[in-house]
Amino acid sequence: MKSWIPRGGEFAAKLQNTAKPIAGTALAELMPDYVKNWLAQARLLYGVPFEYQVCDEHYLPVESMRFFYIDRNWTDALIDGALSIGTTSRDLLFKRTNIRDIQQTLDELEKTVRSGLRGVKPPQELSSDLISGFLLRSAVVSGYPGMDIKGYVDKARTQTLPILRIERLAPDILVCLFSGKPADVALQQPPEGLHFGVRQLDASKDVYSVILRQVSGDKVGLQFEPSQQADVSFRKNADGVLDISASVKSIGDKLLSLHQQLPSNVLDSSGFAIQMVRASGLQQFTTGVLPTQGNRE
Amino acid sequence: MSDDNVNENDLPPGEIAFFGACYPPLQSGQYQLELSQTLKNVPGESAPPNFKRAQKISLTSPRFTLAASSVQMVYPPADAVGNFLNTMPNVVLTRRTLPWERPIDPHHIGLKASATVDASQDHTPWLALLTLYQNEAENIKPKQRSVAELLDTGNTKIKGPDLGGLVSDAQKQTLCLTIDISPTLFQTIAPKVDELKYLNHVRQVNTDGKEVLGIDEEGWYSVSVSNRIVKTGEKNTVYLVSLEGHKADLPGGGADLSNIDALRFAVLATWSFTAEKSSGDFLGLLQALPERGGIELMQMPNRTKTAGSVPDTVNNVLDIGYTTLQLQLQDGEQTNAWYRGPMVAQPTSRETAISYSTADQAIRYDHTSGLFDMSYAAAWQIGRLLALSDATFAKQYYNWRIANYTSMDATAESHVVSDKLGKLAPDNLHQPARKVAEQAGVQLLAKHMILTAKSIPVSRTHQKARPSETLPGVISAEQMKQHLQRGLPPILAIKPKTADLTE
């Protein structure tokens, strides 16, 4: 196509000058929302085939956890590729002129992808350009959907890092991306599942117990040390049926031995319910050392 | 326990209070109110006249069916598949008194004075949650029957609840969900009479500020818990059954069931779920990670390091997360190439504003190992394929790009015009004035100059005198004028014209 606009280097220079059509607004910010969000999500590896993220199974064996940094050059190349569809030499020039703007817009936008998807306000103070995260491949992922993940800036766990993405990539593979680098990561069992049950310390043994909680004093409901357990027994010749009377007695006796006050020295049904509530587990992972003992809350 | 003394405001947000039970003032059933009045000192009457009046009332509550809205939530969730290891199923009911509203043994009440009834009221809950494993549940088919069929099964081998004839005819016509369970199974899995009170309790939650555990609204709920833990690896079915009239059939209840094939129960709620196999609980699994797959950085396990036959340079590359993959070059040659995904073991420094024209442009060559690094080339290509596979993205991005050319062209054009105008402006024009002319009023000025001084050529591609209409990319002065009058950039006029000519 013939044009009266001068070609070549002059054209590129002009384009550079005209990249901001509206005063003070970067061109990239005027992209359609769908395009912007699509690109921001691609930055967080939405849609990227898993075999390109983890190209060999040895990177992520069964029952493993792998921490990583996101290679910005890789994701920048991904975006650059996405912007290279249907290009003539003119479009390439256009892309080259605007790529910095677009990438900078996405730098901000990628931090709001998660809040946008959840329909909540974007988190404050998202200044970090570094993205790190971990992949978890474990039966925990499939068995406990909705687990609560927190990344802490410091080992004292005073400040949490904004989470950019938590996603199950496969039934047993979970990816979590933080804005910044965590010193400490905590995984918590889904807290919404307040339910009743017993604890089996050793899967090979038929011994079940509950970790006791206080029923009197000013800390009602607070759990004793995990060692303070009471056995629960099962009805004979009945698969999985608890012997409630015997368990109530076992738990009640143990509580009395811990100087807990029971009405008429017998555990009542509300006290029994408190003991049978299964709380959620919390596991911390700290940089540099092996995982610490899990806590129960 | 009554809730009269409990101030609901006492409960801080997020906390839960447990209560052993919440008894209704009167259990459901038939009652008779009696009124008597004795008139004393009535003249002419030897004995004080006594007037009596009786009024029958019936106190109703859910009995054979339960409205779906009465069930706040069930756990494990209905139809869920998950790890419910060692869990006892439970149901949360919106009516806090429900488990204590009916007598488990209707005969117990009989006709007694109210004070006696109150004292002797049997506060054993009438609800039980039965958890059935897959092989047990297979033989049990829930069926809609009328209440009449529930009570009188028409078969001496099937025993229904004994409600002592306290069911109205109208009630007998209603339908309810029922199940038949063999007495052996029932006695194996059902709780004993004195265990029932431990399996029903009341919960108060503070619903201020946030939704707590999926429980909301008033904050008072009754909870019924099953006495059986979930069987892992199969489907579990849970029935909330009415034990009213079945007290003697409970384990240790003393009923003779030797000639009975099945017990018939009214089912108030039922759901099922599948408990998946799992190797341990949440903490157990996580704490086993170091011994199993390990908790490490995103690297390939370096088997060569110990062998000692590999140069350090290669080990270094492995350390930062690379691996080698087979690469087929365009000429058909097979070789190896370095690759690492976006998740890397070491932080990288970001190159600003990379822009490639083709994937091959992003290939890097590592001269120390003599291998190509295909990482960014692959990323670029994946990005391109992803964009192409999303038609909405491709179309919107493409249109946005095209739309930008128009506005960019217009701006570029105004720059050209301002250049030309700048040259035309008198040399003694002050720089600020020139700037104003160039930037702020450039379009206006151009318009004005073209309309008034036709001799100034704004665009001139050919010097030869040819009819301007036939020249590619050139428009006549008249067309230019029309466009400027309409406030449009002249390039819009050029475009269609050139398109016509190229055909």
A246 vs B6, more confident = A246
Residue B283 lies in a domain: no
Radius of gyration of chain B from its Cα atoms, rounded to whole angstroms: 44
Radius of gyration of chain A from its Cα atoms, rounded to whole angstroms: 28
- B20 pLDDT above the threshold of 70: yes
Find all residues with CB under 8 Å of A115, minimum gap 6, and list them.
A121, A122, A123
How far apart (Å, rounded) are the C-alpha atoms in residues B383 and B378?
Answer: 8
- A193 pLDDT above the threshold of 70: no
Mark whether B263 and B350 lie in a shared domain.
no
Nearest residue in B to A208, CA atom: B86
What is the rounded (10 degree) CA torsion for B192, B196, B198, B204? 170
Mark whether B425 and B385 lie in a shared domain.
no
- A1 pLDDT above the threshold of 50: no
> Is B281 touching A (CB cutoff 8 A)?
yes
Tokens found for residue B52: 């009596």
Q: For the purposes of burial, counting CB atoms within 10 Å of the CB of B500, is it exposed (0-12), middle (13-18) or buried (19 or more)? A: exposed
> What pLDDT is stored for residue B490 in this prediction?
62
B287 vs A173, more confident = A173
How far apart (Å, rounded) are the C-alpha atoms in residues B146 and B167?
Answer: 12
The mean pLDDT value for B301-330 works out to: 76
Mark whether A171 and A148 lie in a shared domain.
yes
- B435 pLDDT above the threshold of 70: no
Q: Give chain B's domain count.
A: 3
Mark whether A212 and A168 lie in a shared domain.
no
> What pLDDT is stored for residue A3 in this prediction?
42
Terminal Cα distance for chain B, rounded: 92
Residue B286 lies in a domain: no
pLDDT-wise least confident of A91-105, B57-71, B253-267, B307-321 = B307-321
- Which amino acid type is present at position B324? T
Residue B422 lies in a domain: yes
The mean pLDDT value for A216-227 works out to: 79
Residue A63 lies in a domain: no
CB B76 within 8 A of CB B209: no
Q: B interface mutation test: which of A15, A35, A98, A239 has the most B CBs within 10 A? A: A35
Residue B293 lies in a domain: no
Give per-residue pLDDT as tens, B133-184.
999 999 899 999 999 999 888 888 999 998 876 778 888 889 999 999 999 9
- A7 pLDDT above the threshold of 50: no
Collect all residues of chain A within an 8 Å Cβ-Cβ radius of residue B189.
238, 241
- B338 pLDDT above the threshold of 70: yes
A71 vs A28, more confident = A71
Mark whether A44 and A150 lie in a shared domain.
no
Mark whether A178 and A269 lie in a shared domain.
no
Mark whether B177 and B88 lie in a shared domain.
yes
Residue A67 lies in a domain: no
For residue B251, say if its preceding peptide bond is cis, omega within 30 degrees of 0: no
Mark whether B232 and B176 lie in a shared domain.
yes
Nearest-CA distance from A38 to chain B in Å? Answer: 7
Residue A261 lies in a domain: yes
Split at pLDDT 50, 70, 90, the class of B354 is: confident
- Eight-class DSSP state of A25: B
Share of chain B above pLDDT 90, in %: 25
Do you know the residue count of chain B?
503
Mark whether A107 and A13 lie in a shared domain.
yes
CB A297 within 8 A of CB A280: yes
Q: Do A63 and B292 touch (CB under 8 A)?
A: yes
Q: Do B283 and A281 touch (CB under 8 A)?
A: yes
- B326 pLDDT above the threshold of 70: yes
Residue B284 lies in a domain: no
Mark whether B185 and B57 lie in a shared domain.
yes
Mark whether A173 and A241 lie in a shared domain.
no
Residue B288 lies in a domain: no
Mark whether A202 and A149 lie in a shared domain.
no
Mark whether A163 and A285 lie in a shared domain.
yes
Share of chain B above pLDDT 70, in %: 71
The pLDDT mean for chain B works out to 78
Site of tokens 């199950």: A168
- A115 pLDDT above the threshold of 70: yes
Collect all residues of chain B within an 8 Å Cβ-Cβ radius of residue A208.
86
> What pLDDT is stored for residue B499 in this prediction?
46
B324 is in which domain, residue-wise?
300-389
The mean pLDDT value for A263-282 works out to: 82
Nearest residue in B to A129, CA atom: B350
Mark whether B142 and B248 lie in a shared domain.
yes
Nearest residue in A to B215, CA atom: A192
Mark whether B447 and B352 lie in a shared domain.
no
Mark whether A137 and A206 lie in a shared domain.
no
- A136 pLDDT above the threshold of 60: yes
Cross-strand partners of B235 = B274
Nearest-CA distance from B169 to chain A in Å? Answer: 37
Residue B281 lies in a domain: no
Give per-residue pLDDT as tens, B383-397.
999 999 999 999 999
A163 vs B478, more confident = A163
How far apart (Å, rounded) are the C-alpha atoms in residues B197 and B193?
Answer: 8
Mark whether A267 and A286 lie in a shared domain.
no
How far apart (Å, rounded) are the C-alpha atoms in residues A296 and A213?
Answer: 11
Mark whether A144 and A110 lie in a shared domain.
no
CA B486 to chain centre: 54
Mark whether A167 and A272 lie in a shared domain.
no
Collect all residues of chain A within an 8 Å Cβ-Cβ radius of residue B473.
1-4
Q: What angle do CA A83, A84, A90 make, to 5 degrees?
A: 110
Q: How many CB pairs under 8 A join A and B?
A: 379
pLDDT-wise least confident of B189-203, B278-292, B364-378 = B278-292
Long-range contact set of residues B300-305: C-beta below 8 Å, sequence gap at least 24: B300/A56, B300/A58, B300/A59, B301/A58
Residue A146 lies in a domain: yes
> Is A129 touching B (CB cutoff 8 A)?
yes
How far apart (Å, rounded) are the C-alpha atoms in residues B75 and B193?
Answer: 24
Site of tokens 């029957």: B145
Mark whether B214 and B344 lie in a shared domain.
no
- B467 pLDDT above the threshold of 50: yes
Residue A297 lies in a domain: no
How far apart (Å, rounded) are the C-alpha atoms in residues B289 and A174?
Answer: 14
Q: Give chain A's domain count.
A: 3
How far apart (Å, rounded) are the C-alpha atoms in residues A186 and A147?
Answer: 10
What is the rounded (10 degree) CA torsion for B143, B145, B147, B149? -110
Site of tokens 């109150």: B118
A144 is in which domain, residue-wise?
131-192+281-292
ipTM: 0.73
Nearest-CA distance from B384 to chain A in Å? Answer: 4
Nearest-CA distance from A165 to chain B in Å? Answer: 14
Tokens found for residue B243: 């034990």
- B203 pLDDT above the threshold of 60: yes
The mean pLDDT value for B186-198 works out to: 92
Mark whether B22 and B45 lie in a shared domain.
yes
Residue A125 lies in a domain: no
> Is B340 touching A (CB cutoff 8 A)?
yes
Q: What angle do CA B289, B293, B294 make, to 5 degrees?
A: 65
How far apart (Å, rounded) are the C-alpha atoms in residues A71 and B364?
Answer: 15
Residue B189 lies in a domain: yes
Mark whether B418 and B487 lie in a shared domain.
yes
Tokens found for residue B371: 């291998």
CB B338 within 8 A of CB B371: yes
Nearest-CA distance from B60 to chain A in Å? Answer: 26
pLDDT-wise least confident of A40-54, B329-343, B412-426 = B412-426
What is the rounded (10 degree) CA torsion for B392, B394, B396, B398? -160
> Is B492 touching A (CB cutoff 8 A)?
no
- Those of residues 152-181 in A touching chain B at CB distance below 8 A are none
pLDDT-wise least confident of B67-76, B210-219, B469-478 = B210-219
> Is A193 touching B (CB cutoff 8 A)?
yes
